[in-house]
Structure 1
Amino acid sequence: MPKAKLDAIDRKIIDALQVEGRMTAQQLADKVGLSPSPCARRVRQMEDMGVITGYTAVIDQDLVDLPISVFASIKLERQRESELERFNAAIARWPEVVDCYLMTGQRDYLLRIVVRDLHAYERFLKEKLTRLDGVASIETSFALAQIKRSNRLPVEP
């Protein structure tokens, strides 16, 4: 997909929405120095182009009783396209996997898995991840504390 051509106002809109996605069209327009109609038009255009892919609430893991973040590095037996696609499809079905990256280096994938407790991770590992064909090895690390979490990209106006 070609990169979107964004001007300074588009970038201001993106930056403002990343901080507060629930602001009204008037509030957003005031923040970026436009009237509401052209501002709403720009937002709609960026949604149509796929620059803005959605709006979501940021949830505190601890308060919804999902305090454990597990990072799993996965090595596949082979890196053929069909094996990568099969792995990607399986990961997409599993709600415990909240982030998944195809990596360079010694490991093929890095997953962030969110669970209630160690038993839940053990079930996930035994019932899902280790049953997936083509997985050669899994290395797991548990996060002790979350120092920073952000969904905000460093888009500069």
Structure 2
Amino acid sequence: MLKIKLDLKDRKILYELDINARQTYSQIAKKVKLSKQVVKYRIEQLEKEGIVKGYSTMIDTSKLGYTIFRIYLKLKNINPQKKKEFVHYLKIQKNIWAVVLTAGNWDVALGLAIKDIYQFYDSWEKILKDYLPSIKDYKVCIYSPIYHFAKAYIVGKEDSSKIRILGGKKQEQIDKIDILILRELAQNARVSLLEISKKTDKTAESISYRIKQLEKKGIIQGYRAIIDINLLGYEFYKTEFRLSRWNNFDQILTFAHLHPNIYQIDKTIGGEILEMEFHVKNLNHLLKLIEELENEFPNTIESYNYITILSEEKHIYMPED
């Protein structure tokens, strides 16, 4: 894929959108030292070029009573057209909030937000009934929690923003209006208060207050731009680590947070004990970073395996049910 060259101002704007996509043009302009009009134009160009594909709100669904499940699938006997139909089928399932195409040990990764194990099995059994002949192998994991970092490599520095944590939290009580607000923000993190107010029959001031309360409760963990990192010259890898010790997790978390190329780490049940997501220049860059981890934490990593993330076909943090 063709790499698009950006100047430092564009990269700073991207980084600001990744830290908080609901910032106004004026707020971003002040931070990157450009006029509001220039920032607006540059963002529109980033969207036009496909570098910014949208804006997503990071919602901690555990605070809404959900558990995050991941299903990895290895496919068989499936041609490109049938695979396309399968991906579309997965995208329209209400409990599936993430559909990711991968290369390596697995072909597809799914994220599901589930109220209980019975609901999970209902969702999983539906997939099996419709597509089991095309599934060669699968693996089910439970995530609790996910630690998400900003894309600090965009501006070539350590991540100093807060860690956004999804999962493993106590449920909060919210009403139907809050749910409607979350659904709107999940689709577009930059949606205006006026647009939300029209769909909820509440004033913009009321919507603003409710959003602040959702943030205060930790239900909304942040707002980010959906960035096509391939156009920036980066590749996306997900790595599973088998560890021989766990008492240094806090140090691993700090290391990952401060490393500009580590995008996310996950605690898991059902897979390996730890997963990491990397945005790197190429495979050799990934292997060097893993070697860096091994040197930083000796006698910790027993083994690892990785998959390449090819595309995120669906990634909305709010389930539709």
Scaled by the length of structure 1, the TM-score of the pair is: 0.85
* 1:41-60 superposed matches below 5 A: 41-60=41-60
1:3 corresponds to: 3
Structure with the higher fraction of residues in strand conformation: 2
Q: Does the aligned pair in 1 maintain the 2:74–2:138 contact within 8 Å?
A: yes
The residue type equivalent to 1:82 in the other structure is: Q
Q: Structure 1 residues 140, 112: closer, same or farther in 2, change over 3 A?
A: same
Alpha-carbon distance in 2 for matches of 1:131, 1:102 = 21
- Could you give the per-residue CA deviations for residues 98-144 of structure 1, whole angstroms, max 9, x where no partner exists? 222323333322222221111110110112x112332233321222x
1:26 corresponds to: 26
Alpha-carbon distance in 1 for matches of 2:57, 2:10 = 22
1:98 corresponds to: 97
Deviating above 6 A after TM superposition, structure 1's stretches of 4 or more consecutive aligned residues are none
Q: Does the aligned pair in 2 maintain the 1:96–1:115 contact within 8 Å?
A: yes
SS in 2 for 1:53: strand
SS in 1 for 2:59: coil
* 1:1-157 superposed matches below 5 A: 2-66=2-66, 68-127=67-126, 129-133=127-131, 134-143=134-143, 145-150=144-149, 152-157=150-155
Q: Does the aligned pair in 2 maintain the 1:74–1:135 contact within 8 Å?
A: yes
2:228 corresponds to: none
Gaps of 5+ in 2: 156-321
Gaps of 5+ in 1: none
Q: How many residues of Structure 1 are paired with residues of Structure 2 in the alignment?
A: 153
- Could you give the per-residue CA deviations for residues 55-90 of structure 1, whole angstroms, max 9, x where no partner exists? 232211122222x11121212222421232122111
Identity among equivalent pairs (%): 23
Alpha-carbon distance in 2 for matches of 1:91, 1:124 = 10
SS in 2 for 1:100: strand
Alpha-carbon distance in 1 for matches of 2:85, 2:116 = 28
Alpha-carbon distance in 1 for matches of 2:137, 2:82 = 14
Alpha-carbon distance in 1 for matches of 2:15, 2:139 = 36
Alpha-carbon distance in 1 for matches of 2:6, 2:62 = 37
SS in 2 for 1:41: helix
SS in 1 for 2:58: coil
- Could you give the per-residue CA deviations for residues 7-45 of structure 1, whole angstroms, max 9, x where no partner exists? 110000000111111112111101011011111110111
Structure 1 residue 147: Cα displacement: 4.2
Q: Does the aligned pair in 2 maintain the 1:87–1:132 contact within 8 Å?
A: no
Q: Structure 1 residues 53, 61: closer, same or farther in 2, change over 3 A?
A: same
The residue type equivalent to 2:138 in the other structure is: I
Structure 1 residue 156: Cα displacement: 2.3
Q: Does the aligned pair in 2 maintain the 1:75–1:136 contact within 8 Å?
A: yes
Alpha-carbon distance in 2 for matches of 1:2, 1:109 = 24
